[in-house]
Amino acid sequence: MVKDIEAEVIKENEKAPVVEDSVKKVEEDTEKVEKVKDSASDEAPSDKDKGKKKKVKKLAQKDYEAKVIELADSGLTSEKIGQKLRDSGIHPNDYNGKISKILGEKYVNADLKNVEDKLVRIEKHYETNKQDKRAKREKDRIFSQIRKLKKYFGIEIIKKRNMKKVRK
């Protein structure tokens, strides 16, 4: 009987290191998980930080104007330039001069540009589909809309000449 008890104690002592090892592994794993959580929280913004704006160092006026001209060269209108600048943390109201004034001769009114693009698309469609009478009417309607916009903005109106000769 004593031998049985001794055998049980020996068996328990043999099992104990296995249990201690598994406890140590679990503790190590939890430490690793906590470290990963801490590093992830440093990199990713929390819910509190989402509403806050990024602090961006204010540019000099010359740098701001250069940035505006660079965006205009990429084909953006003044409205899109302002939107892009605000997205990057630069607010146009913090600087002197409107974007359209900075662009000067390069400035193209967005309304006029969009209508001209629409006219180009419809003319292209009409060239391939001569039987489309609705497209012909739409082309004429949009051309008159361009003329009205150019007159309103004070831009020189270039008239398209008909291919037919006028009799005298």
- List CB contacts of 107: < 8 A, sequence separation 6 or more: 72, 78, 100
What pLDDT does 10 receive?
65
Q: What is the pLDDT of residue 50?
A: 56
Whether residue 56 is predicted with pLDDT greater than 60 in this model: the reply is yes
| Per-residue confidence band for 61, with pLDDT thresholds at 50, 70 and 90 | confident
> For the residues of 32-98, what is the DSSP string, one character each?
HHHHHHHHHHHHS--HHHHTSPPP-PPPPHHHHHHHHHHHHHTT--HHHHHHHHHHTT--GGGSSS-
Please state the pTM of the whole predicted model.
0.50
Q: Which two tokens stand for residue 74?
A: 């990429």
Rounded to the nearest 10°, the torsion over CA 45, 49, 51, 54 is: -80
Residue linked to tokens 């940035």: 67
